[in-house]
């Protein structure tokens, strides 16, 4: 299940199999401009799998100086909504892609698609069928047993034309009739067994309103929409491989002039610890298992954005996973690697303590305060420095003190010395406890007045460096510690994916962060040193700063802090 980390995106990589196809076409024939499209159905928010498809379609267009359309395949009015249309546009732009003036809707083509349905009837390749959905399904057979023919299949062309027009005019009730193609009831491909082309549905469409009471099936709209737009490469996920003969049959039966789109299927992105279907994500939202589509635990693009993922990290991820022809599952830690790699360079460091233990520096003058210089980002020389306040009372992380430590514990312990990041050496002199509970309430330390900036005069060294904040200056922040939403690698393997939800996927704590945080704006990203990367949430206000943990950190700046 583990995934190897492939070379970084800007290193040279091999062509993926779709690029190989295009390169071959370029050599062997006159390839018109490469024209792709990203065709979402606006029935939910986009997820990281869609991001892969967006990067692929827009990426190919860019690479080959072509074009990529954004097209909403909006053939199912009951599930679709402008809210989804708007979110999809925002997400595609956020990923850094532009459809220019080529945003389309399958509903733009409803008249043309209707006319094509009429043409199929005239060619005696489609008929109006009165069977219910249930009856059709009962008569379908299976791949080895042919379907039974509909008793309505022998209606005359005239009768079919008349009935279809009356379907359009609203003379029949929903579900009472369909228009079906006449293809092959014995085909081992079930999609070819006289599939439904049109259904009666009185539902208001988010764009065409109540103009239509018949709607084309996705299969009867998708391929023709690609054709209308002059798409050269219709890139879609593997489950559409079995639909390809049907799409080709439509274009052929309609005798549409060449060139026609070439459909190429690739493996959809699956991620460990993640569910990726819009239907399931909708269920999580509707039943309040999460706080909306942009909940930072969601694999949606807006959720990842709110979690703190950047455009670069997601595009890099899409590049690293490549394009496969066979189903696979990618380790979610690769996605986490990509955001760490990106934020390591981008995010400034700040100090904050999430589980505070008070430290009193007994030899530090009462009521004084000094400012110490801290480096904003050791990975970026241009990031500069800032001042952090130091005073007599500090907070350190409770974990960074142990009363009875094992031998290789290099942080604070009774009688032991440790370096405070950007500050002084301190030595633990006394441990104060609650007499009733035995809980440690304070640590009393002395500091080496000559060790400012972390260097001692006599050259003595300590192995441990810990972070801290000045108690009276620290800003209390709401820190949302996000973890994986599901407990197991494949949440979809069981009966009900909801049973696999991780009850600890969100823990909210009060953190104490250096004063700089007061000026932080929503969407800014910081590394809390030794803790992780955090994104300032959109809910954040000056009097209640909210930090979302994007991802934990591998402890990089102190190799010795193993424990
Ligand atoms: P879901 O299965 O998650 O409900 P969908 O395939 O129904 O998604 P669409 O709106 O039809 O969603 O998808 C738009 C485009 O995104 C399609 O071309 C589809 O192939 C692609 N896509 C959807 N899911 C993935 C995925 N997991 N990996 C790669 N591409 C995907
Ligand atoms: Mg779909």
- 462-521 pLDDT per residue, tens: 999 999 999 999 999 999 999 999 999 999 998 899 999 999 999 999 999 999 999 999
The CATH number that applies at residue 199 is 3.40.50.620
Q: Does 280 qualify as catalytic in the annotation? A: no
Q: Does 530 qualify as catalytic in the annotation? A: no
Sheet with 348-350, side-by-side order of all strands: 348-350, 525-528, 532-536, 545-552, 475-482, 506-513, 352-353
> Which positions ≥6 away from 368 have C-beta within 8 Å?
391, 392
Domain residues for 299? Answer: 278-348+477-552
Cα–chain center distance at 332: 11
Q: Does any domain span residue 430?
A: yes
Residue 233, phi then psi, degrees to nearest 5: -130, 110
> Which positions ≥6 away from 181 have C-beta within 8 Å?
120, 125, 126, 194, 195, 197, 249, 250, 253
Q: Does any domain span residue 296?
A: yes
Same domain, yes or no: 253 and 283 = no
Instruction: Count structural domains, the chain.
Output: 3
Tell me: pLDDT of 336 over 60: yes
Same domain, yes or no: 514 and 412 = no
Q: For ligand 1, what atom is nearest to the CA of residue 235? A: 18
pTM above 0.75, yes or no: yes
Alpha helices per DSSP H over 439-531: none
Q: Which of 52, 199, 278, 386 is catalytic?
A: 278
Tokens read off for 394: 């500090």
Same domain, yes or no: 248 and 146 = yes
Tokens read off for 227: 């054709």
Same domain, yes or no: 239 and 315 = no
Same domain, yes or no: 343 and 367 = no
CA 49 to centroid of ligand 1, rounded, Å = 7
CA 239 to centroid of ligand 1, rounded, Å = 10
Mutate to test the pocket of ligand 1, among 38, 46, 53, 80 (most ligand atoms within 8 A of CB): 53
The span from the CA of 477 to the CA of 458, in Å, is 39
CA 240 to centroid of ligand 2, rounded, Å = 9
- Token look-up 């992380």 returns 397
> Which positions ≥6 away from 145 have C-beta within 8 Å?
none
Mutate to test the pocket of ligand 1, among 37, 49, 55, 243 (most ligand atoms within 8 A of CB): 49
402, 434, 467 — which closes off a domain?
467
Q: Does any domain span residue 8?
A: no
CA 420 to centroid of ligand 2, rounded, Å = 54
Same domain, yes or no: 377 and 305 = no
Q: Does any domain span residue 261?
A: yes
- Token look-up 């267009």 returns 61
Roughly what angle, to the nearest 10 degrees, separates helices 48-63 and 82-94?
Answer: 60
Same domain, yes or no: 190 and 94 = yes
pLDDT at 343: 97
The span from the CA of 449 to the CA of 361, in Å, is 11
Same domain, yes or no: 313 and 426 = no
Residue having the nearest C-alpha atom to atom 15 of ligand 1: 40
Mutate to test the pocket of ligand 1, among 39, 50, 274 (most ligand atoms within 8 A of CB): 50
Tell me: pLDDT of 146 over 50: yes
Q: Does any domain span residue 90?
A: yes
Q: Does 336 qualify as catalytic in the annotation? A: no
Stretch among 25-39, 155-169, 419-433, 492-506 having the lowest mean pLDDT: 25-39
445, 467, 489 — which closes off a domain?
467
Same domain, yes or no: 370 and 341 = no
Tokens read off for 148: 């039974």
Q: How confident is the model at residue 8 (pLDDT cuts 50, 70, 90)?
A: low
CA 243 to centroid of ligand 1, rounded, Å = 15
CA 327 to centroid of ligand 1, rounded, Å = 14
Q: Does any domain span residue 15?
A: no
Q: Which of 37, 52, 207, 268 is catalytic?
A: 268
CA 155 to centroid of ligand 1, rounded, Å = 38
The CATH number that applies at residue 514 is 2.40.240.10
Q: Which residues line ligand 1 (CB under 6 A)?
A: 39-41, 49-50, 52-53, 236-237, 268-269, 276-279
222, 243, 266 — which closes off a domain?
266
Give the tens place of pLDDT for each residue, 85-112. Answer: 999 999 999 999 999 999 999 999 999 9
| Least distant ligand from the CA of 50 | 1
Tell me: pLDDT of 2 over 50: no
Tokens read off for 53: 């498809």
At 406, is the secondary structure helix, strand, or coil? coil
Is 112 exposed, middle or buried, given 0-12, 13-18 or 19+ CB atoms closer than 10 A? middle
The span from the CA of 352 to the CA of 149, in Å, is 71
Residue having the nearest C-alpha atom to atom 16 of ligand 1: 50
- Measured CA distances, 55 to 36, 62, 95 (Å): 11, 10, 8
> Which positions ≥6 away from 381 have C-beta within 8 Å?
none
Same domain, yes or no: 227 and 359 = no
**How much is the average pLDDT of 328-334?**
94
The DSSP output letter for 501 is B
Residue having the nearest C-alpha atom to atom 10 of ligand 1: 40
Same domain, yes or no: 55 and 163 = yes
Characterize 418-432 residue by residue with b for buried, 16 or more Cβ atoms within 10 angstroms of its Cβ, and e for exposed: bbbbbbbbbbbeeee
Q: Does any domain span residue 424?
A: yes
Q: Does any domain span residue 156?
A: yes
According to the 3-state scheme, what is the secondary structure of 498-512?
HHHECCCCEEEEEEE
Tell which residue, 513, 510, 390, has the closest CA to residue 449. Answer: 390
Same domain, yes or no: 130 and 226 = yes
* Better-predicted residue by pLDDT, 432 or 10: 432
| Least distant ligand from the CA of 68 | 1
């Amino acid at each position: 299940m583990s995934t190897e980390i492939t070379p970084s995106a800007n290193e040279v990589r091999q062509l993926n199999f779709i690029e190989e196809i295009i390169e071959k076409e370029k050599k062997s024939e006159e390839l018109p401009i490469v024209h792709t499209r990203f065709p979402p159905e606006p029935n939910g928010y986009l997820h990281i799998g869609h991001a892969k498809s967006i990067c692929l379609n827009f990426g190919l267009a860019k690479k080959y100086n072509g074009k990529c359309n954004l097209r909403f395949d909006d053939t199912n009015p009951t599930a679709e909504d402008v809210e989804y249309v708007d979110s999809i546009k925002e997400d595609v732009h956020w990923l850094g892609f532009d459809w220019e003036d080529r945003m389309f809707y399958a509903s733009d083509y409803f008249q043309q698609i209707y006319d094509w349905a009429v043409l199929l009837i005239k060619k005696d390749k489609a008929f109006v069928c009165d069977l219910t959905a249930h009856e059709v399904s009962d008569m379908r057979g299976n791949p080895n047993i042919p379907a039974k023919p509909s008793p309505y299949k022998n209606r005359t062309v005239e009768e079919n034309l008349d009935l279809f027009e009356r379907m359009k005019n609203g003379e029949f009730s929903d579900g009472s009739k369909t228009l079906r193609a006449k293809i092959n009831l014995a085909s081992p491909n079930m999609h070819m067994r006289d599939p439904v082309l049109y259904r009666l549905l009185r539902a208001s469409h988010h764009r065409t309103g109540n103009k239509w009471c018949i709607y084309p099936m996705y299969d009867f709209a998708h391929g023709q929409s690609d054709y209308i737009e002059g798409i050269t490469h219709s890139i879609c996920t593997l489950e559409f491989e079995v639909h390809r003969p049907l799409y080709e049959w439509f274009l052929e039966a309609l005798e549409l002039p060449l060139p026609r789109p070439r459909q190429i299927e690739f493996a959809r992105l699956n991620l460990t610890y993640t569910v990726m279907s819009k239907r399931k994500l909708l269920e999580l939202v509707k039943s309040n298992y999460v706080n909306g589509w942009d909940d930072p635990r969601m694999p949606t693009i807006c959720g990842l954005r709110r979690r703190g993922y950047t455009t670069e990290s997601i595009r890099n991820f899409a590049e690293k996973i490549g394009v496969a022809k066979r189903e696979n599952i990618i380790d979610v830690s690769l996605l986490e690697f990509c955001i760490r790699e990106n934020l390591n360079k981008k995010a400034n460091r700040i100090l904050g303590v999430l589980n505070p233990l008070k430290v009193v520096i007994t030899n530090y003058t009462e009521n004084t305060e000094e400012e110490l210089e801290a480096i904003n980002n050791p990975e970026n020389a241009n990031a500069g420095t800032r001042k952090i306040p130091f005073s007599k009372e500090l907070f350190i992380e409770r974990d960074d003190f142990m009363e009875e430590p094992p031998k290789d514990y290099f942080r604070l312990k009774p009688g032991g010395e440790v370096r405070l990041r950007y500050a002084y050496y301190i030595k633990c002199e006394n441990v104060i406890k609650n007499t009733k509970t035995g809980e440690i309430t304070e640590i009393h330390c002395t500091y080496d007045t000559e060790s400012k900036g972390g260097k001692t005069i006599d050259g003595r060294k300590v192995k441990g460096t810990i972070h801290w904040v000045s108690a009276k200056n620290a800003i209390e922040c709401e820190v949302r510690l996000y973890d994986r939403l599901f407990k197991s690698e494949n949440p979809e393997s069981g009966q009900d994916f909801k049973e696999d939800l991780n009850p600890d996927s969100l823990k909210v704590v009060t953190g104490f962060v250096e004063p700089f945080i007061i000026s932080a704006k929503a969407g800014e990203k910081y590394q809390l040193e030794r803790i992780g990367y955090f994104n300032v949430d959109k809910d954040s206000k000056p009097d209640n700063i909210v930090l979302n943990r994007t991802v934990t950190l591998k402890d990089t700046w102190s190799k010795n802090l193993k424990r």
